[in-house]
Chains A and B, each alone.
Chain A
Amino acid sequence: MSAPATRAGYNFAYLDEQTKGMIRRALLKAVAIPGYQVPFGGREMPMPYGWGTGGMQVSAAIIGRDDCLKVIDQGADDTTNAVSIRAFFRDLTGVATTERTEQATLIQTRHRIPETPLHEDQILVYQVPIPEPLRFIEPSEVETRKMHALEDYGVMHIKLYEDIAQFGHIATSYAYPVRVNGRYVMDPSPIPKFDNPKMDHSPALQLFGAGREKRIYAVPPYTEVRSLDFADHPFEVQRWDQCCAICGATDSFLDEVILDDQGGHTFICSDTDYCRTRLARQEEKA
């Protein structure tokens, strides 16, 4: 590829072509072994580790000139980090960007899956802080890799058991562990468990990049993704008694907004595009 750089002195999408090739090979392996964490030669990026360098490297390796990019953080297109990452790719690729979920071909996300269902021609790239779902039970990488290899996953249920024994509920509300394709236990990144069901048999390709930990993993389209649970304490998603104060949605993940220092609060959609689209449709009808 001898594409002219968009910003003087830099290659298309920042990374050099060798690095992109390396990341693409890791991605292919990740797609071939759903849920398996593939080590890759993660590079330093101009953003700090923990701010989405893994997702950015994955996006940089797969973005093409015809792509239409959407970047969200906490579900919103206008959070500071989403703005910053979107500006980075606009600057270094010149590709079109959008806030509309259905228009986007490539969506980079931190902590949410859009409410609007994804389709086959879309790729969702997750920013992952800690890719290892067993990490908080077993700090050693040597040991966790062995546990994955041997499917030694009993400890995952110990955590769930303890939650129920202590709180009466499974007390994991985000980064809720899943089993992919009946084999690997995977961390879905810190999305709320509300979003877990969207991963199951999703028509879109889901890619996960962890920059600091230098791991890539993937869920291919139409792959089974099951949240861990007990037969008599099945997996459940969050529900709210309120609806969105702006668009009235009752089926979306709601952010709490503090209205005053007297404890007054209201709820609005975390997914800004979903909220805006619903509002626009209501205004059309009215």
Chain B
Amino acid sequence: MYVAVKGGERAIAAAHTLLAKRRRGAPETPEIGVAQIDQQLALAVDRVMTEGSVYDRELAALAIKQAAGDLVEAIFLLRAYRTTLPRFTSSEPIDTTHMHIERRISATYKDLPGGQVLGPTFDYTHRLLDFSLLAEGEPAAPAPPSETVDTAPAASQPPPTPRVLELLEREGLMIGEHDRGDEPTDITQDPPTYPCDRSARLQALVRGDEGFLLALGYSTQRGYGRNHPFAGEIRIGEVEVEIVPEELGFPITIGTLQVTECETVNGFTRHDDGEVRFTRGYGLGLGQCERKAMAMALVDRALQAEDHGETAVSPAQQEEFVLSHCDNVEAAGFVSHLKLPHYVDFQSELELLRRIRAAADSAGEEDPA
């Protein structure tokens, strides 16, 4: 009788075998390789790295393969792996002003120092299904070297590309961002306490679900916490990662990261010194993740409502609401746990309901109150 009611070890094993078979698909189609995912589904890899909080293209691609393309599941796999990694050191802050620019646009100025660089983007493509891609992919002949765009990081640090918001700041038109020199909070080590400091908030947003933040950012544009945004600047490219080994005492470069950064220029307010200035939002993600970075910047600005004397009444302005629900690993886990048996709780409810009904029946015309 028990076997019929409760699950068993054998059933789980069989389910896992079936899953592996489904993931592989029809054996006559060639198996997809991790390198192919890395190269040809690169934007999926970028999203998994950003929300999975690990910068490793191969591991992210592996997670996508193992998750059969379910990106939230892949993010979860990467996060679980991340748990097992020891921490050796903390890097110096990355400097996006000295970025090897692959793409850089501003919606606030037609032309600006450093120029507009369109780079690889879906923007301005016509969203027409390209049936030529249906053809089985043969390895293309290697492109002639002259055509390759110079995206590989040069040996030396590139010249700085001035930042749009800094230009405004210098004119006194933009509220400044100042490094207070505090140790940034790490929410993966200490859970956030509310109200959060900005570093904890930004970290939570980087790890946060793209879809959730997109919807919240969108809601601010539709009037739920309006903050009048302009895409001040979006830049994508490689930045150097430096550490300061104790025994050396000076920074050395250990590699590069591709990041996407978005800074929004938002509606102005009167500040403590009586001056009127623009406000700002900030978004950053690993790899190429423009939609995420923009959504994050909108939400970051919305969460500053109280700093700028706005009444925080809309969902995107509620720090605790946004931050405690934006993590898709937490959210997906808790939603999926409803699939676990709840026999005992349900039994308790059933018993109570029957008893209440029985009591009501036996009470007849008596007033239950």
Contact = CB atoms under 8 A, between A and B. Distances in A.
Interface stretch (B91-99, B209-217, B345-353): B345-353
A55 B83 CA distance: 16
B141 interface: no
A16 B84 contact: yes
Contact of A53 (B6, B86, B188, B333): B333
Nearest to A17: B86
Interface stretch (A27-35, A148-156, A162-170, A199-207): A162-170
Contact of B349 (A11, A50, A173): A173
B76 A48 contact: yes
A81 B340 contact: yes
Contacts of A220: none
Given A39-B190, A79-B6, A50 B337 contact: yes
Given A51-B340, A111-B342, A174-B344, A41 B190 contact: yes
A280 interface: no
Nearest to B363: A168
Contact of A192 (B7, B195, B337, B345): B345
Nearest to A255: B343
A273 B193 CA distance: 41
Contacts of B5: 255, 257, 268
B325 to A, nearest CB: 11
Given A48-B332, A129-B337, A238-B351, A169 B356 contact: yes
Contacts of A14: 83-84
A48 B194 contact: no
A141 B341 contact: no
Contacts of B82: 44
B139 interface: no
Contacts of B313: none
A1 interface: no
Interface residues of A, number: 65
Interface core residue of A50, A87, A174 (most chain B CB under 10 Å): A50
B146 interface: no
Interface core residue of B9, B11, B337 (most chain A CB under 10 Å): B337
Contacts of B355: 169
Nearest to B345: A174
B333 A51 contact: yes
B352 A173 contact: yes
B343 A39 contact: no
Contact of A79 (B337, B341, B368): B341
A121 interface: no
Interface residues of B, number: 52
A44 B79 contact: yes
A120 B74 CA distance: 43
B336 interface: yes
A211 B347 CA distance: 26
A212 interface: yes
Contacts of A78: 2, 6-9
Contacts of A40: 191
B157 interface: no
B201 to A, nearest CB: 15
Interface stretch (A69-77, A100-108, A179-187, A224-232): A69-77
Interface of B: 1-2, 5-9, 11-12, 76, 79-80, 82-84, 86, 188-191, 193-195, 320, 324, 329-337, 340-345, 347-352, 355-356, 359-360, 368-369
Given A43-B188, A48-B76, A165-B369, 12 more contacts: A40-B191, A50-B340, A51-B333, A83-B12, A111-B342, A174-B344, A192-B347, A212-B333, A238-B348, A238-B352, A253-B347, A256-B350
25 contacts: A15-B83, A16-B84, A41-B191, A43-B188, A44-B83, A45-B80, A49-B331, A50-B333, A50-B336, A51-B333, A79-B6, A80-B7, A80-B340, A83-B8, A83-B12, A111-B342, A140-B194, A173-B351, A191-B344, A214-B191, A238-B352, A253-B344, A256-B347, A257-B5, A272-B2
